[in-house]
Structure 1
Amino acid sequence: MSKSFENYQKRKLISSYFSVVLSIALVLFLLGILGLLVLNTKKMGDHFKEQITISVFLKDSAKEVEIDQMQKSLSMAEYTKKAIYVSKDEAAKQHTEELGENFQDFLGYNPLKNSIDVQLNADFVSPEQIATIAEEISGKGYVDEVSYDKPLVGLLTENIKKIGLWILIASSIFTFIAVLLINSSIRLSIYSKRFIIKTMQMVGATKTFIRRPFIINNIKLGILGAILALIALGGVLLYVNEHFKELGLFEDSTILIVLLVSVFVLGVLISFISTYFATQRFLNLRTDELYY
């Protein structure tokens, strides 16, 4: 009977530890994902901004020397990521592939113009800056027209700002919830040992002596939970990097190291603080209050 009860107690203890570790791991994993989003918000925004293209259409009278000079000057401009010359014949070929038929057959000529497609650096993608760039390019005598998607630029700029703001708000809320969840899990595990705490106190053990094994034990659980969270986070990072290489998640290793270390430290720190205050609460209770 005594052995059966002892086995039951061990299973209960293991179950309690498992629930604490699992809750810590899940919460830290979610915090890591949110941290990853926060740290890469600008990078993701820059990726979408750099898809914006300004098309510079050239007059048919433009000389080859002028076109070459134009492409070189645009390529060297600080706002340019890439400048690609597209001849009217290449443009006609692209349109034919997209439409599935050759429009020159019934028009009898190629109405398209030679152009230079300019991809901008993300820092210069805003309605005001692009308008200034377009006006500057339009001043060239051999430029016929400068075209870009104005509504898309405005919408993209506005939405990226909103997304960044909401990610910060969501991260703050989830961080607060995460602390509460980990704290609740640890408090519940200590609650089951409140009579042991009070018994040790009654036989003369100091508060520091009583707290120490609880703190050490829960820090170990916090470390284990943090390790599990880091393993899961590493798996997500590898998956995202494999399928979305353009984000370049592993290009800045410093950011990743800071994120992973922060998740680990946060797990240990929350475990320590929660355990300290949970044990302190039961140490300050009177014996008759333990039953409520």
Structure 2
Amino acid sequence: MPKKKKIGSYPNTMIVISLTAALFLIGFCGLLVIQSKKLVSIIRENIEVRIFVDKEVNKAGQDSILSLIQAKPYVLVSAEVQPITFVSKEEAAKEFIQGTKEDFVAFLGENPLRDSYRVRIQEDYFEEAKLQLIKKDLEKIKGVYEVVYQENLADNINRNVTKIYIVLASFALIMLIIIVLLINNTIKLAIYSQRFLIRSMQLVGATNGFIQKPFVMRGAIQGLIGGILAGVLLIVLQQVAVRNVEGLAMLQEYNRLVILVAIVLILGVLIGVSSTYQSLSRYLRMALDDLY
């Protein structure tokens, strides 16, 4: 015979599943924000400022210019990428010919291009006004002919990034409100099944704090379990995505993923405790006739 459900039994499994799904969605939004921020950082750090050198500058002069560039505080410091790259006029000509499929050197009889340095700038300086100051500062170096970069690109990227963050933040906030309301209603239904047990405890003289304690503890445990399950799902999803999507590994920041999972755990406990406490308080104040 199938096991009969006891009257007034508490739907623990349903609450944990609901909390897990809700916390997973919140965590997924957080994961998107983290990876979007990393992607933007990579894009910003790959924007280059090109420093063209005077034609009469010799090797010693080029080394002097390089030393002065390296000393600048706005030059990217990274162990993963080369912040400063020297491009000879011959290499520049090859790149131009490969891109345009036209041998301008043969047509002109000479190579009019200049030796140059390609410099990557720190993310903190990725603003049009700051890039203009960098341009002026670099052009003061003796032997530098011209400094160029894609003007207005920084402001355009920053504007688009701000829009993306606003959309993601709005979506996450809406999801959080909806999820909290749904979880709150789920726990209300669960507490509703315990309303007569709560009344019986009141009738034998139990205080509100004594009645609330086991329910609130149960809510905290449910929230913690839901948070753990949601965190595990997030990690599994992230690992599957990294293994199957080429180039996604470079967007991963595992220290921030750990912080995100910790936030999901804390949020799960807070939602479980607050929703349980709020729903329970209602039945503690309810008159006997209203229980029916």
Shift of 1:97: 3.1
Instruction: Determine the structure 2 residue equivalent to 1:222.
Output: 223
What SS does the aligned partner of 2:57 have? coil
Shift of 1:215: 2.6
AA aligned to 2:5 is Q
Check 1:11–1:53 CA distance in 2 against 1; reply closer, same or farther (3 A cut). Answer: farther
What SS does the aligned partner of 2:5 have? helix
The answer to whether structure 1 residue 54 and structure 2 residue 49 are counterparts is yes
TM-score (norm 1): 0.82
- Over residues 63-103 of structure 1, what are the superposed CA-to-partner deviations in whole Å (9 max), with x where a residue is unaligned? 22222211222122111121111011111222333345544
- What percent identity do the matched residue pairs reach? 33
What SS does the aligned partner of 1:80 have? coil
Shift of 1:205: 4.4
Instruction: Determine the structure 1 residue equivalent to 2:69.
Output: 74
- Over residues 139-196 of structure 1, what are the superposed CA-to-partner deviations in whole Å (9 max), with x where a residue is unaligned? 3453332211112122123333444455445444443333323222211222233233
AA aligned to 1:33 is F
Check 1:69–1:219 CA distance in 2 against 1; reply closer, same or farther (3 A cut). Answer: same
Task: Identify unmatched segments of 5+ residues in structure 2.
Answer: 77-82
- Contact kept, 8 Å, 2:48 with 2:118, in 1: the verdict is yes
> Aligned equivalents of 2:98 and 2:9: distance in 1?
68
Task: Identify unmatched segments of 5+ residues in structure 1.
Answer: none
Check 1:53–1:104 CA distance in 2 against 1; reply closer, same or farther (3 A cut). Answer: same
Which stretch of structure 1 is more off in the superposition, 208-217 or 221-230? 208-217
> Aligned equivalents of 1:113 and 1:50: distance in 2?
24
Matches of residues 75-94 of structure 1 in structure 2 within 5 Å?
Answer: 75-81=70-76, 82-94=83-95
Check 1:248–1:222 CA distance in 2 against 1; reply closer, same or farther (3 A cut). Answer: closer
Instruction: Determine the structure 2 residue equivalent to 1:111.
Output: 112
What SS does the aligned partner of 1:117 have? strand
Instruction: Determine the structure 1 residue equivalent to 2:275.
Output: 274
The answer to whether structure 1 residue 249 and structure 2 residue 250 are counterparts is no
AA aligned to 1:177 is I
Instruction: Determine the structure 2 residue equivalent to 1:121.
Output: 122
- Contact kept, 8 Å, 1:237 with 1:249, in 2: the verdict is no
Instruction: Determine the structure 2 residue equivalent to 1:260.
Output: 261
- Contact kept, 8 Å, 1:57 with 1:146, in 2: the verdict is yes
The answer to whether structure 1 residue 9 and structure 2 residue 10 are counterparts is no
Shift of 1:106: 4.1
Shift of 1:118: 0.9
- Contact kept, 8 Å, 1:71 with 1:84, in 2: the verdict is no
Shift of 1:228: 0.6
AA aligned to 2:250 is E
Which stretch of structure 1 is more off in the superposition, 168-177 or 42-51? 168-177
- Contact kept, 8 Å, 1:241 with 1:247, in 2: the verdict is no
> Aligned equivalents of 2:7 and 2:103: distance in 1?
75
Cα root mean square deviation, aligned: 3.0
What SS does the aligned partner of 2:250 have? helix
- Contact kept, 8 Å, 1:38 with 1:167, in 2: the verdict is yes
Check 1:68–1:194 CA distance in 2 against 1; reply closer, same or farther (3 A cut). Answer: same
Question: What number of residue pairs does the alignment pair up?
Answer: 283
What SS does the aligned partner of 1:77 have? coil
AA aligned to 2:157 is L
TM-score (norm 2): 0.82
> Aligned equivalents of 1:62 and 1:95: distance in 2?
23
Between Structure 1 and Structure 2, the one with more helix by share is 1
What SS does the aligned partner of 1:73 have? helix
Shift of 1:35: 3.9
> Aligned equivalents of 2:115 and 2:8: distance in 1?
76
AA aligned to 2:132 is A
What SS does the aligned partner of 1:109 have? coil
- Contact kept, 8 Å, 2:65 with 2:142, in 1: the verdict is no
Instruction: Determine the structure 1 residue equivalent to 2:98.
Output: 97
Matches of residues 86-235 of structure 1 in structure 2 within 5 Å?
Answer: 86-100=87-101, 102-140=103-141, 142-202=143-203, 204-235=205-236
